[in-house]
């Protein structure tokens, strides 16, 4: 069932990326997602960055329509759905790529007291595309990489993870699939949880459009333990 929410605040979070805050909060477990419907534009899934916050990259018709909305406009939202992150480990790394920051931001904010030390390793193509929100409030260290070296270190977040693997006893990741594959290889599929992405239509495990091997990402994920994805990613 949809819940109608009103947008109370919206702002540019990065190049081609907007954050939308709405009235009312959802009962969130970091890593879960909601389905957002707009009349005439359809419905799309978005990870919750917080109980009242989504962060959206403009990539097509639906998100372009969403970018036209402002304070006072309404969204139709159902969820949250799916499996979220499980807080494990003492010294943890959050590895994010591009627009993969929202669920990891939620994890850092929600589980700050459960972890001893949190390092965010974040990668983007360039400084213009860096989306960090106010994550520095909830982590102990932020390491930024950019493909072109315009901010932080030139390279990829997985380069940093590979070098510092022994510093962490658990890793959480969200981002482009090539990055997730690299994270899983570095961690040898152990002590790691990743938020996977597939095309979702129903969001509740009925239509099968988000199949990943024997799993349905909307129902069995989007968060998976590394060992579940061996041979799949």
The rounded distance, in Å, linking the Cα atoms of 78 and 142 is 33
**C-alpha dihedral over 91, 96, 102, 106, to 10 degrees?**
0
CATH match for 91-195 among 3.40.50.1100, 3.40.190.10, 1.10.10.10, 3.40.50.80: 3.40.50.80
CATH class, range 3-81: mainly beta
The rounded distance, in Å, linking the Cα atoms of 120 and 34 is 24
Q: How far is CA 122 from CA 29, 160, 213, in A?
A: 22, 10, 28
Residue 61 has a CB neighbour count (10 Å cut-off) of 11
Whether the predicted model's global pTM rises above the 0.85 cut: yes
Largest CA distance in the chain: 50
The rounded distance, in Å, linking the Cα atoms of 156 and 55 is 22
| Intrachain domains 3-81 and 91-195 with the same fold | no
Report strand pairing: 74-81 vs 53-57.
Answer: unpaired
Report strand pairing: 170-174 vs 192-195.
Answer: parallel
The rounded distance, in Å, linking the Cα atoms of 139 and 173 is 15
Provide the pLDDT for residue 76: 97
H helix and E strand count, the chain: 5, 15
**C-alpha dihedral over 161, 93, 107, 203, to 10 degrees?**
30
Provide the pLDDT for residue 209: 86
Residue stretches of the chain with pLDDT short of 50? none
Q: How far is CA 62 from CA 9, 35, 45, 107, 198, in A?
A: 19, 12, 11, 27, 17
Provide the pLDDT for residue 206: 84
Residue extents of the structural domains in the chain: 3-81, 91-195
Provide the pLDDT for residue 190: 97
Provide the pLDDT for residue 111: 96
Provide the pLDDT for residue 42: 93
Provide the pLDDT for residue 202: 82
């Amino acid at each position: 069932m949809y819940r109608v929410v009103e947008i109370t605040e919206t702002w540019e979070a990065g190049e081609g990326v907007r954050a939308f805050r709405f009235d009312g909060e959802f009962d969130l477990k970091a890593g879960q997602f909601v389905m957002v419907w707009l009349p005439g534009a359809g419905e799309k899934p978005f990870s919750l960055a917080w109980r009242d916050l989504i962060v959206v990259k403009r990539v097509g018709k639906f998100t372009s329509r969403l970018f036209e909305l402002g304070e006072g406009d309404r969204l139709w939202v159902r969820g949250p759905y799916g499996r979220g992150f499980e807080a494990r480990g003492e010294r943890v790394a959050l590895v994010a790529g591009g627009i993969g920051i929202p669920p990891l931001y939620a994890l850092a904010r929600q589980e700050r007291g459960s972890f001893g030390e949190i390092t965010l390793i974040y990668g983007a193509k360039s400084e213009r595309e860096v989306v960090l929100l106010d994550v520095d409030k909830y982590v102990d260290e932020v390491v930024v990489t950019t493909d072109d070296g315009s901010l932080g270190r030139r390279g990829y977040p997985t380069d940093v993870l590979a070098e510092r693997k022994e510093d962490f006893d658990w890793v959480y990741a969200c981002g482009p699939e090539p990055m997730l594959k690299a994270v899983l290889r570095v961690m040898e599929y152990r002590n790691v949880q990743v938020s996977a992405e597939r095309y979702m239509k129903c969001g509740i495990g009925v239509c099968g459009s988000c199949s990943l091997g024997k799993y349905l990402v909307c129902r069995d994920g989007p968060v998976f333990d590394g060992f579940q994805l061996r041979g799949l990613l």
